[in-house]
Structure 1
């Protein structure tokens, strides 16, 4: 283990005379590793009245920085020759501490985030190049950090690591504070400033998949081709986009594709599901909050998605679930790109593109006054309407094969084929849950597949949610006689099979009866038919 010693450490043992000599010499003395050899070396230098500026000791090596205008390596070797264990002496250009310092500075210079080291009074002891660049034309070392930061110095000196939102020279940062502890007392701190924009990009990476969102939109139907053309055209336009469509049609995928193809693609893409967050928290998630804004708020405050996504895109899914109060606040932001944090008084700006989505009918919402008409017109500058899967049945086969490949890869399962009758069932099913339901069904089919292929029976079992349609359920319903048992069985049969064969003719062909009989039975058992 290396040991760095100043001459003062030896003053109690060896008197050293200082001379006003300007020429310096740095040497590395190699020796046998034994106790006291460094003190003997220093005693030799003291006998010549040479000024020792610093000394560093490692196992078998002693590094000395001398003020000396006459001595050279040969003189030193001769001087030290009668010390037991001395092996060699060579001149060096830098002491080990200087080499380490250069490496540390080179490392810190490569870190693009500002780093500052302060003492217990807030004086800046050291900083990296990124921190120095924040203050143009002024050396910030030895100045008090309180001059630049909007936080009390005492609040920076805690006994454990913590993070806090700060403004350094009026620029927002998240500060990671690492205390310096000496004898159980906080004697300083190392402050690592992370820009809010960079934090937004990091959060975006956590949310984002590596997939090319546009290529992940699978299908050859005219409806899908139109959507792809709209995405490519709208991506270059820095205007709000509204995406509508039933649940499970892929609204977030379209939003990601719009961002990835836009000029903002190097900046964050952050998404927020307005239906998944309680109303009191939704405002703070979107706009952020100041310190002490409400009970339970972090002392440091918190940046919102709008601040984190500055320069990028925010996707607000299920925007129709937003309260009228938040709708008004969002409308104001869309009008002039300014906002206030919860509990804040300062007007902030953010350059953010807003993409919204909902599966609800906005005309009905506006009539019922649950959604602001002025906000609707503000978010509905550009619109993409996603069709349900039932209206693009020609894409079901290509989607099925795509999901089979993905499921086999993710489940480390041999990739099965799918029988034509099974494919027909999938194509004819109405898919009320759209693409998400189809994907989940395929994953379940692949996971349960014991053979090399997926059969029609496999599809019926998974889609119906039951392995069989039999008398077991009839016993549970306590059937009283033959006729009621037969009627209950017919009803169960039709309820299970009709979604897979969503027309009277298709179901009649499947059960080998007339379509009039199927229609009559559906009416008799009050089974809802598809228009």
Structure 2
């Protein structure tokens, strides 16, 4: 509610003032009237109005003293002054007249002299002492009569002067009331804004502190009390910011940086991250707004986010530190990948199966600025062609028969602000390639069955173990899509190219699986390492990892020998000596003769194969394998 007080300058217009006020139909604006003369101290001390309407020196006094109140002046028109001068001239036959009034209502003297053919002197006043001084000077100048406002006339008549009061016209009254109403609307709007700002400040979880140009605190929300560990009953507004954040040069800091800069400071025993933004009016810094965050809370929030993403399976578990090996080619690949992680461009990972393309994709994500956002991996070859579009982009209710009633969020939408990893990108059908191209170009998706577009911010990392240029030449892959995906490319080296890493990888996985199965960790003999290093590893690291698991399950010795490794590679159809069709069965038969039933059973369990599959791997018929096992 806005309260307006109209100070009536003379009783004659009181009825008109009340008549004008009665026309106003504003429920949240309340008018009241009073009648004071001059500058009554009682009114100044008791005034609880938001807006005051006054005239003359009363207006000037209120303007000086009521700094938080909007004071509206009842303007005096030239006609009001001329009318008072004419009345004074006729009533007192005055030849020389003094106008004693506030400076704001004074008009040019020469102009009035010419109109009324009368000698006129003007005395500008601001208070009652000025009125007394003006009357003294008028007497010295042999003035016949005085024209002035209510206060000037009251003092003049008490001193025996002939005086005519300047009356306010109806138009001036109505104009002052309308101006007061405009001020009331503005006040109401400002109050609404202030209340909104207060609600925002008090309900935001971020600690916010604002200071003025002198470093005095002007705003300090509840979260700031909590973050800075300050008792709620301590009044912070009006204090110097240095009492809250010691040794902090407020305005110099803000002037040096337009952007928000984070600074860590220990405040009241807590590590606080401080960011700020200068408040500038006409290029001058008049204050600063600080946002303060408890570092422990930030870490706790990050942990919650990562746990939630992990629960949904939308998190990257690996980083560059999880990539095993120290070969030159691997280190160079990691260095390039890290450089790629620092930008947002799309990446195409190329490499044979089992080289660790997803490991590199997750590492790039975790090293990037998107690390706290989702990481979504999808194997394009594993999703049926008729479902791939709805999996990637989602669908709306009723998009097709069998669609979930509430619709479905697509993987691109899940990956918003994060990274999507499109594994085996070469397997995306041609009709879907065009839609994927549009997503990469426009950065927006359209769900199946929807007409609207949804903006997304996603970093795309794709991978392939197939030569995509060959696919383009064969008309199986769009060239423009390849260009969009292949902004940055990274070739992951095969295990054959990094042979010096084989021993480290094997030892690492043997230790991992020994812990998993509760077995003591055996050593690899030099001969075993040599056998592993000579192998071609078409399945790369994934294949080596599987062999290490089988070795752990089958071996009960402290040292894994070359023969054990050779036997296992032969059984798995991986040994280099079993490269030709002619001697593969013969070699397998020789090794089979040396093996026992228990070893073969263990091997089939580890490899999760049946007798028929094992026979196929050994190049034998199922009957022969069964017979040999029975002989043993």
| TM-score computed with the length of structure 1 as normaliser | 0.51
Q: Does 2:349 align with 1:243?
A: yes
Note the 1:333-348 alignment, pairs <5 A. 333-348=439-454
Distance 2:430 2:367 in 1: 32
When residues 281 and 199 of structure 1 are mapped into structure 2, their CA distance, relative to the original with a 3 A threshold, is farther
> Aligned with 1:207: secondary structure?
coil
Tell me how far 1:202 sits from its aligned partner.
3.6
Note the 1:94-493 alignment, pairs <5 A. 202-207=308-313, 211-465=317-571, 490=583, 492-493=585-586
Moved more, 456-465 or 437-446: 456-465
Contact 1:400 1:442 in 2 (8 A): yes
Aligned residues: 287
> Aligned with 1:223: secondary structure?
helix
Tell me how far 1:447 sits from its aligned partner.
1.2
When residues 244 and 404 of structure 1 are mapped into structure 2, their CA distance, relative to the original with a 3 A threshold, is same
Distance 2:316 2:446 in 1: 33
1:134-158 per-residue CA deviation (whole Å, 9 max, x = no partner) reads xxxxxxxxxxxxxxxxxxxxxxxxx
When residues 324 and 212 of structure 1 are mapped into structure 2, their CA distance, relative to the original with a 3 A threshold, is closer
> Aligned with 1:215: secondary structure?
helix
Distance 2:589 2:462 in 1: 37
Distance 1:422 1:264 in 2: 43
Contact 2:316 2:375 in 1 (8 A): no
Contact 1:200 1:309 in 2 (8 A): no
Distance 1:200 1:372 in 2: 36
Tell me how far 1:397 sits from its aligned partner.
0.9
1:181-224 per-residue CA deviation (whole Å, 9 max, x = no partner) reads xxxxxxxxxxxxxxxxx999845554367854211111111110
Tell me how far 1:292 sits from its aligned partner.
0.9
Distance 1:208 1:414 in 2: 35
1:417-450 per-residue CA deviation (whole Å, 9 max, x = no partner) reads 1111111100100001000000010011011111
Aligned to 1:100: none
1:222-261 per-residue CA deviation (whole Å, 9 max, x = no partner) reads 1101111012100011100000000000000000001000
Note the 1:11-50 alignment, pairs <5 A. none
Contact 2:316 2:362 in 1 (8 A): no
Contact 1:290 1:302 in 2 (8 A): yes
When residues 326 and 229 of structure 1 are mapped into structure 2, their CA distance, relative to the original with a 3 A threshold, is same
1:55-100 per-residue CA deviation (whole Å, 9 max, x = no partner) reads xxxxxxxxxxxxxxxxxxxxxxxxxxxxxxxxxxxxxxxxxxxxxx
Distance 1:345 1:488 in 2: 58
Gaps of 5+ in 1: 1-108, 112-197, 470-486, 498-531
Contact 2:316 2:363 in 1 (8 A): no
Structure of greater relative contact order (alpha carbons < 8 Å, 6+ residues apart)? 1
Distance 2:353 2:584 in 1: 29
1:320-368 per-residue CA deviation (whole Å, 9 max, x = no partner) reads 0001111111110111101100011011111000000010011110001
Aligned to 1:106: none
Gaps of 5+ in 2: 1-202, 206-303, 591-632
Distance 2:558 2:372 in 1: 44
Contact 1:464 1:496 in 2 (8 A): no
1:93-142 per-residue CA deviation (whole Å, 9 max, x = no partner) reads xxxxxxxxxxxxxxxx999xxxxxxxxxxxxxxxxxxxxxxxxxxxxxxx
> Aligned with 1:263: secondary structure?
coil
Tell me how far 1:399 sits from its aligned partner.
0.8
Contact 2:319 2:362 in 1 (8 A): yes
Tell me how far 1:404 sits from its aligned partner.
1.2
Tell me how far 1:454 sits from its aligned partner.
1.0
1:18-39 per-residue CA deviation (whole Å, 9 max, x = no partner) reads xxxxxxxxxxxxxxxxxxxxxx
Distance 2:332 2:538 in 1: 22
Distance 1:279 1:412 in 2: 43
Distance 2:316 2:517 in 1: 19
